[in-house]
Amino acid sequence: MKGHLVSTVPVIAGRDIALPRHVAIIMDGNGRWAKKRLLPRAAGHKAGVEAVRRVTRHARAIGIEALTIYAFSSENWRRPEEEIGDLMGLLRLFIRSDLAELVRENVRLKIIGDHRRFPKDVVALIDDAVARCAANTGPILAIALNYGAQAELVRAAQRLAERLPPDQIDAAALESELETRDLPPLDLLIRTSGEHRLSNFLLWQAAYAELLFVDTLWPDFGAADLDAAVVAFGSRNRRFGGL
């Protein structure tokens, strides 16, 4: 297992804070944000993209090494076709408008999940974006697209069963087959909108992550909310099963 290490950032709340290396976010509440304002759901998703920009920029600014965002789950295909189309359109827009900034800011872009199911032009945009960021050496932005943790674990187990005898399959071997194998261990998982479940996201990786459920709807989540989450993380005593 990879070691859980934290760095220290002295700029949040005026004091030293144990900074998580890897933060993951379940970005929930776009639809409810729009409904509260009597707007179509598409408006909520558009506002959610603006929140992605705010949060990813601030995560880089405070020194978070890796940020993983749950953008489209394998279960989201159950949503109406019109909404899925809106989400694909926003993904196109985000890549086209933000790719230059990611390259300039030395961000390493990673996709987890099976994005090959997306429309061909979206797949091409994603592949081009990953390729253009491939030489970067800075913070990691991992985007979960058509991702489901149970399917990830099944695929990992199947690959291990093909090449290893049962007595050689252990936690480290399974972890080496996960899509997050080149990311730091997950330290902090945040879910917005007041829901209290993981929704098939990073189930293995979250085994010893700190979980934080906040009431803020995702489009309203910003730099101050991320700072508050980091402060909450820094106040927790992580024992990893020990005393």
| Residue 191 known to bind ligand | yes
Query: How many other C-beta atoms are found inside a 10 Å radius of the C-beta of residue 166?
Result: 7
Task: Indicate the helix (H) or strand (E) that contains 191.
Answer: strand 188-191
| Residue 54 known to bind ligand | no
| Residue 57 known to bind ligand | no
Could you tell me the CA-to-CA distances from 197 to 20, 77, 158, 191, 200 in Å, in that order? 21, 19, 27, 8, 9
| Residue 198 known to bind ligand | yes
| Residue 197 known to bind ligand | yes
| Residue 32 known to bind ligand | yes
| Residue 204 known to bind ligand | no
Q: What whole-number distance in Å separates Cα of residue 228 and Cα of residue 162?
A: 45
Task: Indicate the helix (H) or strand (E) that contains 53.
Answer: helix 41-62
| Residue 152 known to bind ligand | no
Beta strands 66-73 and 22-26, pairing class: parallel
Structure tokens at 106: 């030395």
Catalytic residues: 28, 76
| Residue 162 known to bind ligand | no
One-character DSSP codes across 98-151: HHHHHHHTTPEEEEES-GGGS-HHHHHHHHHHHHHTTT--S-EEEEEEEE-HHH
* Residue 185 contacts residue 21 (beta carbons within 8 Å): yes
| Residue 236 known to bind ligand | no
| Residue 210 known to bind ligand | yes
Sole residue written with tokens 């993983």: 68
**Which residues sit in the known binding site?**
28-33, 41, 45, 73-75, 77, 79, 191, 197-199, 210
**Which residues sit in the known binding site for substrate?**
29-33, 41, 45, 73-75, 77, 79, 191, 197-199
**Which residues sit in the known binding site for Mg(2+)?**
28, 210
